[in-house]
């Protein structure tokens, strides 16, 4: 069913009795051309673009739980393309362009809101670094504006401009950045893939990968064996576990990142604002809750929950940026598993195993990448060659030395 | 999460700095496969879901490097020993 104002009117007149489920609960078949492991945003986007852009529709998406229940349902919903390095920025700007046309493309309201992303700077050196970043963004076709203190004050007068230690000198603004409704992104891709024939199979955990003569043959799952010509892994924090089934050892550590939502308040903040003197970012959801987060906890974890010191650190950063936050109560907090790579950038590539493809290393920035990640991964799987936008995101870059390290932090995942 | 430091006793994890996997070993630079061995040492990790041996530095305490055995699924710590001095407890 195509969603439109006409279908809405028709159903309003019929008492909303004609709506059908947005996707089928598919049963696994014995064989698929492509099996995507991981029913999050990236996996479903990959299946969607495989069907839509490459005409490959004998595809299954296997999800061990329910779709969108991992990081796709646990992020702070920010979309932006404000990276510095050529290997990254072109990719994220392509993602931004896909976001801009996404809702029309998959006929679903993903509530993409280009409300602007403002990165604050607090020193002359940081201003220079942001000017350079803005120039890099513009060179790659993205938008960036360097704002002075007065312009930031006009945008967000409630911030602590006179903070003795970290006065706000200005900010780098990407007006096209903003937020999207994370669950709706998952549902939109699921629906778009399903209508094109993709089987979305939930509660189906992969327990083994059968490889013969260096080539994948089939997958063992909790719902039986499934043969596949090609397998794509898009399992984020569980990458090491699933890849180990194929004997792969990867440059990935799984870390926990916490995020926070306050009680719902009236509209207070109309863009995304990030603190430049600590790691803190904040926006407001359409329900009124302030959505914010900061650093990862910093140690290997598969526990889906973090610890108090990071919560305290995030709150302190929030208070330094916006003292008024102290009058608002934190409502809830959660943790997700980040697939932290060794250089802080993702991997979309073939593996040493024939027919097995890898999509991982999103660190804590995977949500904004969802459309381009799916687009480039689908291209890689369909044509067996990297998409030009993700050509630098190779698995062997740690060996060749062509790492993409935005922060220059080195091979230390908890510092990215 | 509280880490039972071998010298100081149980302390909050904010007193410690995390380095990572304690099982990787610096390879022999003179070995014929040193290039590959150093790559694997610097970049590749087991990243287990379960027991993990890892290095923590007690910077706000005794300044010891510790090898902590921790379950990454529960954050439960089952063993702590000094990284230096032959790993005595």
Give the mean model confidence (pLDDT) for residues B61-74: 97
Domain layout of chain B by residue ranges: 2-27+34-87
* pLDDT averaged over every residue in chain A: 97
Contact state of B42 with A398 under an 8 Å Cβ cutoff: yes
Chain A residue with minimum CA distance to B2:
A307
Looking at beta carbons, which residues of chain A come within 8 Å of B68? Answer: none
pLDDT value, residue A260:
97
Beta carbons of A300 and B43 less than 8 Å apart: no
- Check residue A168 and give its pLDDT: 98
Instruction: Using the predicted structure, report yes or no on whether residue B85 has a pLDDT greater than 70.
Output: no
Using pLDDT thresholds of 50, 70 and 90, give the confidence band for residue A40: very high
Could you tell me the maximum CA-CA distance found in chain A, to the nearest angstrom? 66
pLDDT of residue A322: 96
Q: What is the mean pLDDT of residues A223-244?
A: 97
B46 interfaces chain A, CB cutoff of 8 Å: yes
What one-character DSSP code corresponds to residue A112? -
Among the partner residues A249, A300, A309, nearest to B52 by beta-carbon distance? A300
Q: Is the pLDDT of residue A235 over 90?
A: yes
Q: Which residue has the tokens 């362009």?
A: A97
Q: Which residues of chain B lie closer than 8 angstroms to A413, CB-CB?
A: 20
Each residue of B30-40: pLDDT tens digit? 999 999 999 99
Model confidence over A236-256: pLDDT tens digits? 999 999 999 999 999 999 999
Question: Given an 8 Å threshold on Cβ–Cβ distance, is A250 in contact with B47?
Answer: yes
Burial label for A343, CB within 10 Å (0-12, 13-18, 19+), is buried
Contacts of B72 in chain A (CB under 8 A): 254, 300-303
List, for residues A343-399, the tens digit of each pLDDT value.
Answer: 999 999 999 999 999 999 999 999 999 999 999 999 999 999 999 999 999 999 999
pLDDT tier, A1 (very low <50, low <70, confident <90, very high otherwise)? confident
User: Does residue A249 sit at the B interface (CB-CB below 8 Å)?
Assistant: yes
Q: How confident is the model at residue B87 (pLDDT cuts 50, 70, 90)?
A: low
CA nearest A310: which of A245, A258, A362, A365?
Answer: A258
pLDDT tens digit sequence for A82-140: 999 999 999 999 999 999 999 999 999 999 999 999 999 999 999 999 999 999 999 99
Rounded to 10 deg, the angle between the A41-54 and A182-195 helix axes is 40
In this prediction, residues B6-29 reach a mean pLDDT of: 96
Domain B2-27+34-87 has CATH 3.30.2270.10: yes
B78 in contact with chain A, both atoms CB, cutoff 8 A: no
pLDDT of residue B89: 46
- Measured in angstroms, the CA of B78 and the nearest CA of chain A are apart by 15
Which of A302, A345, A363, A412 should be substituted to probe chain B, the one whose Cβ sees the most B Cβ atoms within 10 Å? A302
Question: Against a cut of 0.90, is the pTM above it?
Answer: yes
Of A250, A251, A299, the CB nearest to B18: A299
**Residue with structure tokens 């863009």?**
A271
Q: Is B70 within 8 Å of B77 (Cβ atoms)? A: yes
Contact B18 A399 (CB under 8 A): no
CB proximity A341 to B under 8 Å: no
Rounded distance between C-alpha atoms, residue A84 and residue A18, angstroms: 49
Retrieve residue A276's tokens.
């430049």
pLDDT of residue A125: 97
Average pLDDT of chain B to the nearest whole number: 94
Contact pairs from chain A to chain B, CB under 8 Å: 69
Mean pLDDT of A160-167: 95
CB contact under 8 A, B48 and A240: yes
Crossing angle of the two packed helices A370-383 and A41-54, in degrees rounded to 10: 50
- For A189, residues 6+ apart whose C-beta sits below 8 A from its C-beta are A41, A44, A45, A47, A48, A106, A370, A374
Tell whether A302 is within 8 A of chain B (Cβ).
yes
């Amino acid at each position: 069913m195509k969603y439109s104002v006409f279908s809405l009117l028709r159903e309003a007149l019929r008492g909303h009795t004609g709506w059908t489920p947005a996707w089928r609960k598919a049963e696994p078949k014995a064989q698929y051309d492509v099996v995507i492991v991981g029913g999050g945003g990236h996996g479903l986007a990959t299946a969607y673009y495989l069907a839509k852009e490459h005409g490959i529709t004998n595809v299954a998406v296997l999800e061990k739980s329910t779709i969108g229940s991992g990081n796709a349902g646990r992020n702070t919903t920010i979309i932006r393309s404000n990276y510095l390095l050529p290997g990254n920025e072109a990719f994220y700007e392509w993602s931004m362009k896909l976001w801009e046309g996404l809702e029309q493309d998959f006929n679903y309201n993903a509530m993409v809101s280009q409300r602007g992303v403002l990165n604050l700077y607090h020193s002359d050196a940081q201003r220079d670094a942001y000017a350079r970043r803005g120039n890099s963004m513009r060179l790659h076709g993205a938008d960036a504006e360097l704002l002075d203190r007065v312009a930031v004050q006009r945008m967000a007068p409630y911030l602590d401009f006179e903070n003795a230690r970290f006065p706000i000198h200005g900010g780098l603004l990407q007006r096209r950045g903003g937020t999207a409704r994370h669950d709706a992104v998952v549902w939109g891709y699921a629906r778009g893939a399903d209508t094109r024939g993709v089987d979305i199979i939930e509660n189906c955990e992969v327990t083994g990968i059968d490889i013969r003569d260096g080539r994948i043959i089939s997958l063992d799952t909790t719902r039986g064996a499934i043969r596949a010509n090609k397998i794509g892994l898009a399992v984020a924090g569980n990458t090491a576990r699933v890849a180990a089934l194929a004997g792969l050892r990867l440059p990935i550590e799984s870390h926990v990142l916490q995020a926070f939502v306050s009680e719902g308040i009236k509209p207070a903040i109309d863009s995304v604002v990030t603190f430049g003197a600590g790691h803190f970012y904040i926006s407001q959801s359409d329900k009124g809750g302030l959505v914010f987060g900061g650093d990862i906890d910093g140690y290997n974890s598969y526990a889906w929950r973090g610890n108090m010191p990071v919560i305290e650190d995030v709150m302190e950063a929030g208070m330094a940026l916006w003292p008024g936050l102290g009058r608002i109560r934190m409502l809830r907090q959660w943790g997700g598993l980040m697939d932290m790579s060794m250089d802080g950038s993702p991997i979309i590539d073939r593996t040493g195993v024939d027919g097995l493809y890898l999509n991982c290393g999103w660190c804590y920035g995977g949500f904004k990448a969802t459309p381009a990640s799916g687009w480039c991964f689908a291209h890689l799987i369909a044509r067996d060659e990297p998409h030009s936008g993700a050509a630098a995101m190779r698995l062997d870059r740690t060996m060749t030395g062509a790492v993409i390290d935005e922060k220059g932090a080195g091979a230390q995942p908890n510092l990215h | 999460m509280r880490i039972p430091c071998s010298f100081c006793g149980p302390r909050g994890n904010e007193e410690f700095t995390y380095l990572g996997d304690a099982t990787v070993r610096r390879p022999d630079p003179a070995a014929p496969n040193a290039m590959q061995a150093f790559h694997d040492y610097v970049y590749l990790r087991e990243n287990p879901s379960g027991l993990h041996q890892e290095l923590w530095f007690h910077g706000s305490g005794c300044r010891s490097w510790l090898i902590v055995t921790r379950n990454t699924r529960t954050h439960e710590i089952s063993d702590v020993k000094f990284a230096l001095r032959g790993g005595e407890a």
